[in-house]
A and B are shown apart, each in its own frame.
Chain A
Amino acid sequence: MTTPAVLDDELRHRLRSVTASPARPNWRDVRQRARALDAPSRRRRRLILAAAVVAAAVAAPALAIATGVIDFSSAAPAPMPVKMLFNQLATLSGPSIPGPITAPPRLVYTFHTSSGSFDLAVAPAANDGWCWVVVGRDGTCNTRDGGLNYGANQPPPVGTEPLLIDGSIAAAGVTRIAITFEDGSTLDLPFVQVSAPIDADFFLYEIPANHWTRGTRPATIAAYNSNGTIIGSGWFIRERD
Protein backbone atom coordinates (compact mmCIF):
# COMPACT_ATOMS: atom_id res chain seq x y z
CA MET A 1 0.00 0.00 0.00
CA THR A 2 1.31 3.47 -0.93
CA THR A 3 1.64 5.82 2.03
CA PRO A 4 0.64 9.52 1.92
CA ALA A 5 4.31 10.49 2.25
CA VAL A 6 5.24 8.43 -0.78
CA LEU A 7 2.32 9.88 -2.72
CA ASP A 8 3.44 13.35 -1.65
CA ASP A 9 6.88 12.74 -3.10
CA GLU A 10 5.44 11.22 -6.24
CA LEU A 11 3.06 14.13 -6.77
CA ARG A 12 5.77 16.70 -6.12
CA HIS A 13 8.17 15.00 -8.53
CA ARG A 14 5.66 14.56 -11.33
CA LEU A 15 4.22 18.05 -11.01
CA ARG A 16 7.66 19.59 -11.23
CA SER A 17 8.87 17.42 -14.06
CA VAL A 18 6.09 18.55 -16.40
CA THR A 19 6.66 22.24 -15.69
CA ALA A 20 10.42 22.67 -15.54
CA SER A 21 11.57 26.14 -16.50
CA PRO A 22 15.13 27.25 -17.26
CA ALA A 23 14.40 30.81 -16.10
CA ARG A 24 16.96 32.52 -13.88
CA PRO A 25 16.26 35.31 -11.39
CA ASN A 26 17.02 38.86 -12.49
CA TRP A 27 16.32 41.41 -9.77
CA ARG A 28 17.63 44.32 -11.83
CA ASP A 29 14.94 43.60 -14.39
CA VAL A 30 12.30 43.62 -11.64
CA ARG A 31 13.48 47.04 -10.48
CA GLN A 32 13.40 48.41 -14.01
CA ARG A 33 9.86 47.17 -14.47
CA ALA A 34 8.85 48.71 -11.15
CA ARG A 35 10.24 52.06 -12.25
CA ALA A 36 8.35 51.77 -15.53
CA LEU A 37 5.14 51.25 -13.54
CA ASP A 38 5.82 54.53 -11.78
CA ALA A 39 6.51 56.54 -14.91
CA PRO A 40 2.95 56.98 -16.23
CA SER A 41 1.76 57.93 -12.77
CA ARG A 42 4.33 60.71 -12.49
CA ARG A 43 3.17 62.16 -15.78
CA ARG A 44 -0.37 61.99 -14.55
CA ARG A 45 0.56 63.72 -11.34
CA ARG A 46 1.98 66.69 -13.18
CA LEU A 47 -1.13 67.01 -15.26
CA ILE A 48 -3.42 66.81 -12.29
CA LEU A 49 -1.24 69.18 -10.34
CA ALA A 50 -1.53 71.78 -13.07
CA ALA A 51 -5.29 71.46 -13.12
CA ALA A 52 -5.47 71.72 -9.37
CA VAL A 53 -3.39 74.90 -9.31
CA VAL A 54 -5.77 76.51 -11.75
CA ALA A 55 -8.72 75.48 -9.64
CA ALA A 56 -7.06 76.84 -6.53
CA ALA A 57 -6.41 80.18 -8.21
CA VAL A 58 -10.09 80.80 -8.84
CA ALA A 59 -11.38 79.38 -5.58
CA ALA A 60 -11.83 81.32 -2.38
CA PRO A 61 -8.95 80.92 0.10
CA ALA A 62 -9.28 77.59 1.83
CA LEU A 63 -10.10 77.50 5.51
CA ALA A 64 -7.71 75.79 7.81
CA ILE A 65 -9.31 72.78 9.40
CA ALA A 66 -6.41 71.53 11.47
CA THR A 67 -7.76 70.33 14.77
CA GLY A 68 -4.89 71.81 16.78
CA VAL A 69 -1.20 71.61 17.59
CA ILE A 70 -0.09 68.77 19.84
CA ASP A 71 2.90 69.27 22.09
CA PHE A 72 5.25 66.39 21.39
CA SER A 73 7.33 66.83 24.54
CA SER A 74 4.35 66.42 26.85
CA ALA A 75 2.82 63.43 25.06
CA ALA A 76 2.92 60.01 26.71
CA PRO A 77 5.81 57.69 25.85
CA ALA A 78 4.83 54.91 23.50
CA PRO A 79 4.59 51.45 25.09
CA MET A 80 7.20 48.84 24.34
CA PRO A 81 5.30 47.01 21.54
CA VAL A 82 4.99 50.30 19.68
CA LYS A 83 8.67 51.08 20.26
CA MET A 84 9.47 47.75 18.66
CA LEU A 85 7.53 48.79 15.58
CA PHE A 86 9.77 51.82 15.30
CA ASN A 87 12.76 49.51 15.43
CA GLN A 88 11.29 47.70 12.43
CA LEU A 89 11.11 51.01 10.59
CA ALA A 90 14.88 51.17 10.89
CA THR A 91 15.03 48.28 8.44
CA LEU A 92 13.34 50.34 5.72
CA SER A 93 15.44 51.97 3.06
CA GLY A 94 14.77 54.45 0.30
CA PRO A 95 14.83 58.13 -0.51
CA SER A 96 11.97 58.92 1.89
CA ILE A 97 13.64 57.29 4.87
CA PRO A 98 15.62 59.87 6.85
CA GLY A 99 17.56 57.51 9.11
CA PRO A 100 17.20 56.09 12.60
CA ILE A 101 14.97 57.73 15.18
CA THR A 102 16.73 60.12 17.51
CA ALA A 103 14.34 60.07 20.47
CA PRO A 104 11.82 57.58 21.87
CA PRO A 105 8.41 57.58 20.19
CA ARG A 106 5.41 59.16 21.90
CA LEU A 107 1.69 58.57 21.58
CA VAL A 108 0.46 61.93 20.40
CA TYR A 109 -3.10 61.45 19.22
CA THR A 110 -5.96 59.02 18.65
CA PHE A 111 -7.87 59.06 15.37
CA HIS A 112 -11.48 57.97 15.66
CA THR A 113 -13.25 56.42 12.67
CA SER A 114 -16.44 54.47 12.35
CA SER A 115 -14.42 51.27 12.02
CA GLY A 116 -12.28 51.88 15.07
CA SER A 117 -9.83 54.12 16.86
CA PHE A 118 -6.15 54.31 15.94
CA ASP A 119 -3.34 55.67 18.08
CA LEU A 120 -0.71 57.79 16.37
CA ALA A 121 2.86 57.43 17.60
CA VAL A 122 5.67 59.62 16.29
CA ALA A 123 9.40 60.01 16.83
CA PRO A 124 11.99 62.43 15.48
CA ALA A 125 14.52 60.88 13.13
CA ALA A 126 17.93 61.72 11.73
CA ASN A 127 18.33 64.47 9.14
CA ASP A 128 15.37 66.46 10.51
CA GLY A 129 12.97 63.69 9.55
CA TRP A 130 10.36 61.84 11.53
CA CYS A 131 8.86 58.37 11.74
CA TRP A 132 5.26 57.61 12.53
CA VAL A 133 3.08 54.63 13.22
CA VAL A 134 -0.67 54.34 13.20
CA VAL A 135 -0.89 51.54 15.71
CA GLY A 136 -2.63 48.50 14.34
CA ARG A 137 -2.31 49.78 10.81
CA ASP A 138 0.96 50.97 9.30
CA GLY A 139 4.02 53.08 9.73
CA THR A 140 6.71 54.84 7.75
CA CYS A 141 9.15 57.74 7.89
CA ASN A 142 9.31 61.12 6.22
CA THR A 143 11.91 63.61 5.22
CA ARG A 144 11.08 67.29 5.44
CA ASP A 145 11.35 67.79 1.70
CA GLY A 146 9.64 64.52 0.85
CA GLY A 147 6.25 66.08 0.22
CA LEU A 148 2.99 64.41 1.10
CA ASN A 149 3.46 60.82 2.26
CA TYR A 150 0.15 58.99 2.23
CA GLY A 151 -1.30 55.52 1.88
CA ALA A 152 -4.61 53.78 1.43
CA ASN A 153 -5.83 50.23 1.52
CA GLN A 154 -7.98 48.52 -1.08
CA PRO A 155 -11.61 48.56 0.12
CA PRO A 156 -14.10 45.77 -0.61
CA PRO A 157 -14.63 43.94 -2.87
CA VAL A 158 -10.86 43.75 -3.47
CA GLY A 159 -9.86 44.27 0.15
CA THR A 160 -11.62 43.36 3.35
CA GLU A 161 -11.58 46.59 5.32
CA PRO A 162 -13.15 50.02 4.94
CA LEU A 163 -11.12 52.46 2.90
CA LEU A 164 -8.79 54.32 5.25
CA ILE A 165 -6.38 56.98 4.06
CA ASP A 166 -3.54 58.18 6.23
CA GLY A 167 -0.54 60.36 5.70
CA SER A 168 1.86 63.01 6.86
CA ILE A 169 3.58 66.12 5.56
CA ALA A 170 5.97 68.68 7.00
CA ALA A 171 3.84 71.38 8.64
CA ALA A 172 5.35 74.34 6.76
CA GLY A 173 2.12 76.31 6.58
CA VAL A 174 -0.26 73.56 5.52
CA THR A 175 -3.79 74.80 6.04
CA ARG A 176 -5.79 72.32 4.03
CA ILE A 177 -5.49 68.69 2.90
CA ALA A 178 -8.10 67.59 0.40
CA ILE A 179 -9.01 64.57 -1.67
CA THR A 180 -10.50 64.83 -5.13
CA PHE A 181 -12.61 61.89 -6.21
CA GLU A 182 -13.03 60.39 -9.66
CA ASP A 183 -16.46 62.02 -9.91
CA GLY A 184 -14.90 65.47 -9.40
CA SER A 185 -16.14 66.01 -5.86
CA THR A 186 -13.69 66.97 -3.11
CA LEU A 187 -13.36 66.28 0.58
CA ASP A 188 -11.30 68.21 3.14
CA LEU A 189 -9.54 65.92 5.59
CA PRO A 190 -9.15 66.88 9.23
CA PHE A 191 -5.55 66.72 10.35
CA VAL A 192 -3.44 67.32 13.42
CA GLN A 193 -0.12 69.08 13.78
CA VAL A 194 2.59 67.84 16.10
CA SER A 195 5.06 70.37 17.50
CA ALA A 196 8.86 70.44 17.27
CA PRO A 197 10.98 68.46 16.85
CA ILE A 198 8.39 66.76 14.62
CA ASP A 199 6.76 69.84 13.06
CA ALA A 200 4.51 67.81 10.83
CA ASP A 201 0.85 67.26 10.08
CA PHE A 202 -0.89 63.89 10.24
CA PHE A 203 -4.24 62.59 9.11
CA LEU A 204 -6.23 59.39 9.05
CA TYR A 205 -9.68 59.34 7.54
CA GLU A 206 -12.22 56.71 6.66
CA ILE A 207 -13.59 57.29 3.19
CA PRO A 208 -17.36 56.69 3.03
CA ALA A 209 -18.54 53.57 1.21
CA ASN A 210 -20.14 55.64 -1.55
CA HIS A 211 -16.58 56.45 -2.66
CA TRP A 212 -15.32 52.88 -2.89
CA THR A 213 -16.51 52.01 -6.37
CA ARG A 214 -15.19 52.79 -9.83
CA GLY A 215 -16.02 56.30 -10.94
CA THR A 216 -16.27 57.63 -7.40
CA ARG A 217 -12.99 56.55 -5.80
CA PRO A 218 -10.27 58.88 -4.52
CA ALA A 219 -8.21 60.12 -7.44
CA THR A 220 -5.80 62.70 -6.05
CA ILE A 221 -4.79 64.22 -2.76
CA ALA A 222 -3.20 67.59 -2.16
CA ALA A 223 -1.99 69.76 0.71
CA TYR A 224 -2.39 73.53 0.39
CA ASN A 225 -1.00 76.55 2.18
CA SER A 226 -3.05 79.61 3.11
CA ASN A 227 -2.59 81.06 -0.38
CA GLY A 228 -4.19 78.00 -1.92
CA THR A 229 -0.89 76.87 -3.35
CA ILE A 230 -0.33 73.15 -3.46
CA ILE A 231 2.72 72.21 -1.43
CA GLY A 232 2.35 68.46 -1.64
CA SER A 233 0.23 66.19 -3.75
CA GLY A 234 -0.18 62.72 -5.15
CA TRP A 235 -2.51 60.28 -6.77
CA PHE A 236 -3.96 56.93 -5.87
CA ILE A 237 -2.58 53.85 -7.58
CA ARG A 238 -4.95 50.98 -7.98
CA GLU A 239 -5.21 47.68 -9.74
CA ARG A 240 -6.31 47.62 -13.35
CA ASP A 241 -10.06 48.22 -13.66
Chain B
Amino acid sequence: MKWMAASSREIEQVYRRRFGNFVAAVAAIFRDPDGAAEVVQDGFAQALAHRRDFRGEGQLEAWIWKIVLRKAYDRLANAVPVGSPLEEVPEIGVPSPESDPALAAALRSLAPRRRLVVYLHYNADLPYPEVARICGVSEGTVAATLAQARSALAAILAQQDSAPAANARRTR
Protein backbone atom coordinates (compact mmCIF):
# COMPACT_ATOMS: atom_id res chain seq x y z
CA MET B 1 0.00 0.00 0.00
CA LYS B 2 1.31 3.42 -0.84
CA TRP B 3 1.79 6.04 1.80
CA MET B 4 2.70 9.68 1.55
CA ALA B 5 3.21 12.30 4.23
CA ALA B 6 6.87 12.18 5.13
CA SER B 7 7.34 14.07 8.37
CA SER B 8 10.11 16.56 8.98
CA ARG B 9 11.32 14.22 11.70
CA GLU B 10 11.70 11.34 9.25
CA ILE B 11 13.61 13.54 6.83
CA GLU B 12 15.82 14.79 9.61
CA GLN B 13 16.56 11.20 10.64
CA VAL B 14 17.67 10.34 7.10
CA TYR B 15 19.79 13.48 7.06
CA ARG B 16 21.56 12.81 10.35
CA ARG B 17 22.12 9.15 9.59
CA ARG B 18 23.22 9.48 5.98
CA PHE B 19 24.65 12.96 5.46
CA GLY B 20 28.18 11.67 4.93
CA ASN B 21 27.04 9.15 2.34
CA PHE B 22 25.09 11.76 0.42
CA VAL B 23 28.00 14.18 0.33
CA ALA B 24 30.50 11.51 -0.62
CA ALA B 25 28.41 10.20 -3.49
CA VAL B 26 27.52 13.64 -4.85
CA ALA B 27 31.15 14.70 -4.61
CA ALA B 28 32.18 11.63 -6.56
CA ILE B 29 29.51 11.79 -9.22
CA PHE B 30 30.02 15.47 -9.95
CA ARG B 31 33.71 15.82 -9.13
CA ASP B 32 32.86 18.68 -6.86
CA PRO B 33 33.83 17.97 -3.24
CA ASP B 34 33.35 21.61 -2.26
CA GLY B 35 29.93 21.94 -3.83
CA ALA B 36 28.63 18.56 -2.73
CA ALA B 37 27.64 19.64 0.76
CA GLU B 38 25.86 22.69 -0.70
CA VAL B 39 23.89 20.47 -3.06
CA VAL B 40 22.96 18.08 -0.26
CA GLN B 41 21.81 20.96 1.96
CA ASP B 42 19.68 22.35 -0.85
CA GLY B 43 18.28 18.93 -1.69
CA PHE B 44 17.23 18.18 1.85
CA ALA B 45 15.74 21.67 2.17
CA GLN B 46 13.62 21.02 -0.90
CA ALA B 47 12.60 17.63 0.40
CA LEU B 48 11.58 19.24 3.68
CA ALA B 49 9.62 22.01 2.00
CA HIS B 50 7.87 19.59 -0.36
CA ARG B 51 7.48 16.63 1.98
CA ARG B 52 3.77 16.34 1.21
CA ASP B 53 4.75 15.38 -2.33
CA PHE B 54 6.30 12.16 -1.08
CA ARG B 55 3.94 9.43 -2.18
CA GLY B 56 5.47 6.53 -0.35
CA GLU B 57 6.56 4.80 -3.52
CA GLY B 58 9.72 3.21 -2.23
CA GLN B 59 11.91 4.40 0.57
CA LEU B 60 11.98 8.01 1.69
CA GLU B 61 15.74 8.04 1.23
CA ALA B 62 15.42 7.10 -2.44
CA TRP B 63 12.96 9.95 -2.95
CA ILE B 64 15.41 12.38 -1.34
CA TRP B 65 18.22 10.99 -3.47
CA LYS B 66 16.29 11.85 -6.63
CA ILE B 67 15.86 15.42 -5.40
CA VAL B 68 19.53 15.76 -4.47
CA LEU B 69 20.69 14.34 -7.80
CA ARG B 70 18.42 16.72 -9.68
CA LYS B 71 19.91 19.60 -7.70
CA ALA B 72 23.39 18.38 -8.53
CA TYR B 73 22.65 18.11 -12.24
CA ASP B 74 21.16 21.62 -12.16
CA ARG B 75 24.29 22.95 -10.48
CA LEU B 76 26.49 21.30 -13.04
CA ALA B 77 24.39 22.63 -15.92
CA ASN B 78 24.54 26.15 -14.51
CA ALA B 79 28.28 25.92 -13.98
CA VAL B 80 29.01 25.12 -17.60
CA PRO B 81 28.55 28.12 -19.87
CA VAL B 82 26.37 27.53 -22.88
CA GLY B 83 28.52 26.76 -25.90
CA SER B 84 31.51 25.52 -23.91
CA PRO B 85 33.83 23.25 -25.86
CA LEU B 86 33.02 19.64 -25.10
CA GLU B 87 36.43 18.98 -23.61
CA GLU B 88 35.80 21.65 -20.96
CA VAL B 89 32.62 20.01 -19.73
CA PRO B 90 33.43 17.82 -16.72
CA GLU B 91 32.84 14.18 -17.35
CA ILE B 92 30.31 13.04 -14.80
CA GLY B 93 31.51 10.37 -12.46
CA VAL B 94 35.12 10.16 -13.58
CA PRO B 95 37.78 11.25 -11.08
CA SER B 96 40.60 13.33 -12.45
CA PRO B 97 43.39 11.13 -13.83
CA GLU B 98 45.84 12.81 -11.46
CA SER B 99 44.01 11.55 -8.38
CA ASP B 100 43.74 7.90 -9.39
CA PRO B 101 44.57 7.03 -13.02
CA ALA B 102 43.50 3.41 -12.72
CA LEU B 103 40.17 4.26 -11.19
CA ALA B 104 39.54 6.99 -13.74
CA ALA B 105 40.23 4.53 -16.54
CA ALA B 106 37.97 1.90 -15.00
CA LEU B 107 35.10 4.32 -14.59
CA ARG B 108 35.54 5.81 -18.02
CA SER B 109 34.86 2.36 -19.45
CA LEU B 110 31.33 2.57 -18.04
CA ALA B 111 28.46 4.58 -19.51
CA PRO B 112 27.52 7.64 -17.36
CA ARG B 113 24.32 6.05 -16.07
CA ARG B 114 26.31 3.00 -15.00
CA ARG B 115 28.81 5.18 -13.19
CA LEU B 116 25.91 6.54 -11.20
CA VAL B 117 25.02 2.99 -10.21
CA VAL B 118 28.59 2.45 -9.01
CA TYR B 119 28.63 5.56 -6.86
CA LEU B 120 25.22 5.01 -5.37
CA HIS B 121 26.23 1.55 -4.31
CA TYR B 122 29.81 2.12 -3.18
CA ASN B 123 29.80 5.71 -1.96
CA ALA B 124 26.22 6.06 -0.79
CA ASP B 125 26.05 2.48 0.51
CA LEU B 126 22.66 1.92 -1.06
CA PRO B 127 21.47 -1.65 -1.61
CA TYR B 128 20.66 -2.94 -5.10
CA PRO B 129 16.86 -2.36 -4.93
CA GLU B 130 17.24 1.29 -3.94
CA VAL B 131 19.88 1.94 -6.57
CA ALA B 132 17.58 0.37 -9.13
CA ARG B 133 14.68 2.54 -8.04
CA ILE B 134 16.68 5.77 -8.15
CA CYS B 135 18.23 5.04 -11.54
CA GLY B 136 15.07 3.63 -13.07
CA VAL B 137 16.66 0.32 -14.00
CA SER B 138 16.13 -3.27 -12.90
CA GLU B 139 18.06 -4.87 -10.05
CA GLY B 140 19.57 -7.16 -12.65
CA THR B 141 21.00 -4.17 -14.45
CA VAL B 142 22.46 -2.91 -11.19
CA ALA B 143 24.08 -6.27 -10.53
CA ALA B 144 25.43 -6.47 -14.07
CA THR B 145 26.77 -2.94 -13.90
CA LEU B 146 28.60 -3.56 -10.65
CA ALA B 147 30.02 -6.77 -12.05
CA GLN B 148 31.26 -4.83 -15.06
CA ALA B 149 32.82 -2.20 -12.80
CA ARG B 150 34.61 -4.88 -10.79
CA SER B 151 35.79 -6.55 -13.96
CA ALA B 152 37.15 -3.30 -15.38
CA LEU B 153 38.93 -2.54 -12.17
CA ALA B 154 40.32 -6.06 -11.89
CA ALA B 155 41.80 -5.81 -15.38
CA ILE B 156 43.42 -2.47 -14.62
CA LEU B 157 44.71 -3.62 -11.27
CA ALA B 158 46.20 -6.68 -12.95
CA GLN B 159 48.06 -4.39 -15.37
CA GLN B 160 49.31 -2.34 -12.44
CA ASP B 161 50.46 -5.45 -10.63
CA SER B 162 52.42 -6.67 -13.64
CA ALA B 163 54.05 -3.31 -14.41
CA PRO B 164 56.24 -3.05 -11.26
CA ALA B 165 57.26 -6.68 -11.72
CA ALA B 166 58.47 -5.98 -15.25
CA ASN B 167 60.43 -3.00 -14.01
CA ALA B 168 61.91 -5.08 -11.26
CA ARG B 169 63.12 -7.67 -13.76
CA ARG B 170 64.79 -4.97 -15.79
CA THR B 171 66.73 -3.68 -12.80
CA ARG B 172 68.16 -7.01 -11.92
Contacts and interface: CB of A to CB of B under 8 A. Distances in A.
Interface of A: 2, 4, 7-8, 10-12, 14-21, 23, 25-27, 29-38, 81, 85, 88-89, 91-94, 135-140, 151-154, 237, 239-240
Given A25-B16, A93-B7, A15 B52 contact: no
B60 interface: no
Given A8-B150, A94-B7, 17 more contacts: A2-B154, A2-B157, A12-B122, A12-B123, A23-B23, A23-B36, A25-B15, A26-B41, A33-B41, A34-B49, A37-B45, A135-B1, A137-B55, A139-B5, A151-B52, A152-B53, A237-B49
Interface in B65-99: 70, 74, 95, 99
Contact of A138 (B4, B10, B147): B4
Contacts of A137: 2, 4, 55
Contacts of A32: 45
B47 to A, nearest CB: 8
A237 to B, nearest CB: 6
A92 B1 contact: no
B48 interface: yes
Interface in B131-167: 147, 149-150, 153-154, 157-158
A29 B41 contact: yes
A239 B49 CA distance: 12
Contacts of A12: 122-123
The B interface, classified by DSSP as helix, strand, loop or mixed, is helix
7 contacts: A2-B157, A7-B150, A7-B154, A23-B36, A26-B41, A30-B44, A34-B45
Given A4-B150, A11-B118, A89-B5, A140 B52 contact: yes
Q: Interface size bucket, B side?
A: 35 or more
A21 B150 contact: no
A132 B27 CA distance: 41
A37 B44 CA distance: 12
A153 B55 contact: yes
Best-surrounded residue of A8, A34, A153 (most CB of chain B within 10 A)? A34
B5 A92 contact: yes
B96 to A, nearest CB: 8
Contacts of B126: none
Contacts of A91: 7, 9-10
Given A11-B153, A15-B103, A151-B52, A21 B23 contact: yes
B100 A27 contact: no
A73 to B, nearest CB: 26
A23 B42 CA distance: 14
A123 to B, nearest CB: 15
Can you list the 9 inter-chain pairs with the closest CB atoms, starting with the nearest?
A138-B4, A33-B45, A23-B37, A25-B19, A34-B48, A19-B28, A19-B27, A37-B49, A7-B150
Nearest to A237: B50
A20 B158 CA distance: 26
A36 B48 CA distance: 11
A15 B8 contact: no
Contacts of B2: 136-138
Contacts of A26: 41
B28 A18 contact: yes
